[in-house]
Amino acid sequence: MSLLAPLQNFLGAWLNQPKTAIGLYNAAIDCYQESKFDKALQLLEKAEQLDAEMPDIFYTRGLCFQNLGNTESAKTAFQAALKLNPDDADCLYNLARLFYNDSDLDTAMAYGEQADMLAPDPGDELTSYLLGLIYEEQNKVDEAIAAYEKALLVNPEHLLAGVFLSKLYIQKQDYQKAIDRLKGLADLDPNHLEVHYELSLCLAKMGEWDDTIHFCKRVIEIDPAYIKGYNQLGLAMYCTNQLESAVEYYEKALELDPTYATAINNLAYTYEKLQNYAKAIEKFTGYLPYTAERASEKQEVEEHIELLKGKLME
């Protein structure tokens, strides 16, 4: 091998290296897209040495640090980018997300609202969704509803935004709005367990028992081990006076989790309605330990047991 070969290779590599800030930045982008984050950071550092006024250098550095799990360095990089370009909505969004993940909700909200103001109409789906999460954690229900609705205006198929929005409707007892939204989500994803379960809860609140039963059965088809689905189905059967079926579903819930207090209590009332007082007493007695920290309920259950004992003796 010629002794000149290594030198020629070195010179070739050197000559092919980018020499401008934009060239180094573009090379860094290539590395970033290939998930070579450390290499991208090295190139960005060289680019900064040539042009410290280029905001994209700092923004991409923030993305690299974010992917490497270095949150604080990512924040610093995004903030440096923001100083150079205060109207960068993407930068603001990423800062909002980082501070949200660190539970600094006030700072996250400030960045998120700035990003939302800069977004074109009807807005940015991710920013609106993030603001919904932030507002919800701050118990700003109306603001959270508006943010989730805005996210869904941009992307009607955003399932999580739809689920969280529906739960807020339920919280405000606006059950019909929740039902309408959840039915749309159920059409989008026929196997989404939470959507179908929440839908069954709303329909029960509206007294629409046939539909409640339909969606409860769909819940346990999706996940045969979903305990709450059996309990809710038991409740629907109880409320439609299908008491034997109610017992069946409550018992199924307790097969899966014998400590599920709600099903124990519901089963006790079902046996009482069936006038099976011995079984009702047994279940109410089994429920008593779960009332230990609620004195008034404990007393009420104890008195109810004595009442049933009296009926049993008649």
pLDDT at 123: 75
The per-residue b/e assignment along 20-42, b for 16 or more CB within 10 angstroms, e otherwise, is ebeebbebbbebbeeeebebbbe
User: pLDDT at residue 7 above 60?
Assistant: no
Q: What is the distance between the alpha carbons of residues 64 and 79, in angstroms, rounded to a whole number? A: 14
State pLDDT tens for residues 25-84.
999 999 999 999 999 999 999 999 999 999 999 999 999 999 999 999 999 999 999 999
User: pLDDT at residue 299 above 70?
Assistant: yes
Q: Is residue 181 helix, strand or coil?
A: helix
User: pLDDT at residue 20 above 50?
Assistant: yes
Q: What is the distance between the alpha carbons of residues 163 and 79, in angstroms, rounded to a whole number? A: 33
Residue 83 has a CB neighbour count (10 Å cut-off) of 9
**108 near 97, Cβ under 8 Å?**
yes
The helix or strand, by DSSP H or E, that contains position 30, with its residue range, turns out to be helix 21-33
Annotated domain spans of the chain: 16-85
Query: What does the pLDDT average to over 113-134?
Result: 90
- What's the pTM value of the predicted model, to 2 decimals? 0.81
State pLDDT tens for residues 131-167.
999 999 999 999 999 999 999 999 999 999 999 999 9
Query: What does the pLDDT average to over 259-276?
Result: 96
Alpha helical stretches, state H, the chain: 4-16, 21-33, 37-50, 55-67, 71-84, 89-101, 105-118, 125-137, 141-154, 159-171, 175-188, 193-205, 209-222, 227-239, 243-256, 261-273, 277-287, 295-313
Percent of the chain clearing pLDDT 70 (strictly above): 94
pLDDT at 2: 46
The answer to whether domain 16-85 has CATH 1.25.40.10 is yes
Name the CA dihedral angle for 173, 177, 179, 183, rounded to a multiple of 10 degrees: -160
pLDDT at 5: 47
User: pLDDT at residue 10 above 80?
Assistant: no
Best CA proximity match to 253, nearest among 240, 262, 241: 262
Would you give the DSSP letter of residue 122? Answer: T
State pLDDT tens for residues 81-99.
999 999 999 999 999 999 9
Q: Assign 265 a pLDDT band (cuts: 50, 70, 90).
A: very high
What tokens does 298 get? 């404990």
Best CA proximity match to 56, nearest among 30, 32, 27, 91: 91
**132 near 162, Cβ under 8 Å?**
no
Cis peptide before 156 (omega within 30 of 0): no
pLDDT at 313: 85
**25 near 57, Cβ under 8 Å?**
yes
